[in-house]
Structure 1
Amino acid sequence: MLINLLLLTCGFAALIFGATKLVDAASSVAVKMGIPNIVIGLTIVAFGTSAPELVVNLFAAVSGSTEMVLGNVLGSNIFNILGILGIASIIYPLTVKTNTTWLEIPLSLLAAVCVLVVAADVFLDGAAQNIISRSEGIILLLFFAIFLVYNLTVAKAGGEEEEMETKDYSTGKAIVFMVLGLAGLIIGGRLIVDSAVGIAEVIGLSERIIGLTVVSVGTSLPELATSVIALRKKNVDIAIGNVVGSNIFNIFLILGVSTTVTPLHLNNGAFFDIFVNIAAGLLLFIFIFTGRGRKLERWEGILLLGLYIAYVSYLVAG
């Protein structure tokens, strides 16, 4: 047990180190190539913060730990809204300002509903079992492509330009850091999946619950760090946009890639998590688009965080 916990911690450290170095190196190269900041932010940086979930899910899918695949995606999205936005809005009330974020919040709710639609084969089609198939994974990836192209088009048309701090690496140094970053992602992802499965076996919890709690929180650390840094700079819009954008990436890109590699067979417990994910997205939608000022107040943050603690407690106790 202690060895597995140590390996899990090392895995998270390697994963976050790899994602950070890969983003820094790729962003440095992109700046030298004259790529606008808004494009770097919406592609390289966004992919970088979602890289931990993607790598872990790929290893889990290939190794047959399919419960962990869906658990990591849903757990990350639930933690992003109830946990990260809950903590962030308690620290500082979050006000939505840009049109992009106004569009992304409903889209993230739509993405959560999409998971239910592609998963409910028994209810919708009268099938023998619920499966997110390879073809449905490809459809999710097509949705992601539409979202990415639309986001880039809107950003360019609006003349938005993000203020970004990028590393000024030489080409050789950037290549070295890219290689190190990829190595960190691969090693970290492998360690996390293997150690998480080992922990689940020792303490008697399912891979689904480990994925929904320990693994999902660990892979969401880049989003948490980004939101906290944004709050320190009073960039509250980035704090919300980072989380909502990550949720869209997680479903359309990461779940899409994972199910394209290995179709997922769902058990009945997964639908509880799917509905919790939808409820979290709906709650965020209601809080932002009702009331005055389009903001998350402190009391709403306390409620979100309290709901997350209750959800995790229910999972562990059950």
Structure 2
Amino acid sequence: MTVVIILFLLGFILITKGADIFIDCTVQIGKKTGISEMILGATIVSFATTLPELTVSVFASIDNYTTMSLGNAVGSIICNTGLILGLVVLISPFKVDKKMFFSKSVILLISVLVLMILGINGNINRTDGLLLIALLIVYMYTNIKSVSVRDKSKTDTSINASGIQPNKNKNIKITLSFILGLVMMVIGSRLLVDNGVKIASLIGIPQGVVSLTVIALGTSLPELVSSLTAIKKQHHGISVGNILGANILNITSVIGFSSLINDLPILAQNMRVDFSFMIILLLMLILPTMKTHRLHRVQGFLMLGTYIVYISTLYFMYMA
């Protein structure tokens, strides 16, 4: 049991540190393209921070722990919105880019709606997964279109004006660090799944509860770290863009790719409890913000409180 717990914690550490290295590299690469903060958060940063969820859910699906694949993705959305963004907004309320927030929010709500419709029959199969991946392609396309010509030209001008040639050694270092971070996250994810399942069976906790809470929180640590770092440096756009983008990716890529391997069952608890809390949290985030173009401290308080109620509900259900 001791070895299992140590390996489980090692998985946490590898994911967190690997994501930290990976994010640093992707942000450096992203800044060279002149992409705006919110787009940077919704694309490069969110893709980087969602890799733990993707690797955990894909490995879980390969090993036939399919309830964990879906639970990890949905649990991460709830954790991202309720715990992480709730905490961020509670610490530091901020204004949002009206156009960018609206476009990402609409795609997110469409993704949730599609997931709910596809899951009516009780599972997400390979065909459903292909539809979700099609949504992912649409999302990526909208992000590419969102990159303004003005930002590109500003970046090109600054590079040309400086007259500085790219540092090959620095580029090699960034590339190697990029790969190292990715490998650390993959290994950490594997350790997290294998030992998370063992802990669940030893204690007698259902896989679904473990994946919706402990593992979902573990794989969401990169989002937490990057979001708190972003607000610390006054880059709020990266923070909210990261969470919105990560939530979209959890549905379109994490669930999408996992369902290509094995059908993902949707349990009665998923429909009644998990999906309900996910929708409540997303509406709590999106509707007031679309009206005022600002995330308020009271929203952070309510989202964080809702997350605590959700966790309490899961454990009360388990204890009963």
TM over 0.5: yes
Residue in 1 that maps onto 2:309 = 310
User: 1:287 corresponds to which residue?
Assistant: 288
Asked whether 1:247 is paired with 2:247, we answer yes
* TM-score, length basis structure 1: 0.86
CA contact (8 A) 1:112 1:281 kept: no
* Cα distance, 1:171 vs structure 2: 5.0
CA distance in 1, matches of 2:101, 2:201: 41
Task: Output the amino acid matched with 2:56.
Answer: V
Q: Distance in 1 between matches of 2:3 and 2:190?
A: 15
Quick one: which of 19, 35, 38 aligns to 1:38?
A: 35
Among 142, 146, 157, which residue is 1:154 paired with?
A: 146
Q: Quick check: 2:111–2:135 contact (8 Å CA) kept in 1?
A: no
Partner of 2:163: none
The amino acid that maps onto 1:309 is I
Deviates more, 1:176-185 or 1:230-239: 176-185
Give the letter for the 1:306 counterpart: G
CA shift in 2, pair 1:265/1:131, >3 Å = same
- Corresponding residue number in structure 2 for 1:138: 130
Amino acid corresponding to residue 307 of structure 1 in structure 2: T
TM-score (ref. length: structure 2): 0.85
Q: Which residue number corresponds to residue 125 of structure 1?
A: none
Residue 223 of structure 2 is matched in structure 1 by: 223
Number of aligned pairs?
Answer: 301
Provide the rounded CA distance (Å) in 1 between the counterparts of 2:312 and 2:123.
Answer: 28
Q: State the alpha-carbon separation in 2 of the partners of residues 278 and 11 from structure 1.
A: 30
What is the rounded CA distance, in whole Å, between the counterparts of 1:98 and 1:285 in structure 2?
11
Which 5+ residue runs of structure 2 have no aligned equivalent?
A: 156-166
Amino acid at match of 2:284: L
Given that residues 106 and 285 in structure 1 are in contact (C-alpha distance below 8 angstroms), is that contact kept between their aligned partners in structure 2? no
Q: Residues of 1 paired with 2:83 and 2:43: CA distance?
A: 25
Structure 1 Cα separation of the partners of residues 174 and 253 of structure 2: 26
CA drift of 1:64 comes to 0.7
Matched, 1:192 2:189: no
Unaligned segments of structure 1, at least 5 residues: 122-129
Using a 3 Å threshold, how does the CA distance of structure 1 residues 104 and 113 change in structure 2: closer, same or farther? Answer: same
How far has the Cα of 1:52 moved from its partner?
Answer: 0.7
1:48 matched to 2:45: no
Deviations 1:191-226 (A, max 9, x none): 100111011112221111111101111111111112
**Percent same amino acid among aligned pairs?**
32
- Per the alignment, residue 101 of structure 2 pairs with 101
**Letter in structure 2 aligned against 1:276:** F
Q: Following TM superposition, by how much is the alpha carbon of 1:266 offset from its aligned partner in structure 2, in angstroms? A: 2.1
Aligned-CA RMSD value:
2.5
Tell me the equivalent position of 1:298. Answer: 297
Indicate conservation of the 8 Å contact 1:137/1:255, yes or no. yes
Letter in 2 for 1:282: L
Alignment of 1:256-275 (within 5 A): 256-272=256-272, 273-275=274-276
Please list, as runs of the form range in 1=range in 2, the aligned pairs for 1:68-147 lying within 5 A after superposition. Answer: 68-121=68-121, 130-147=122-139
Task: For residue 63 of structure 1, report the CA deviation from its aligned partner.
Answer: 0.5
Partner of 1:65: 65
Moved more, 37-46 or 132-141: 37-46
Instruction: Label 1:233 to 1:24 Cα distance change in 2 as closer, same or farther (>3 A).
Output: closer
Instruction: Give the drift of 1:114.
Output: 1.8
Partner of 1:124: none
What is the CA–CA distance in structure 1 between the aligned matches of 2:258 and 2:300, rounded to whole Å? 32
Query: Cα offset for 1:116?
Result: 0.8
User: Is the contact made by 1:227 and 1:242 (CA closer than 8 Å) also made in structure 2?
Assistant: yes
Distance 1:169 1:6 in 2: 37
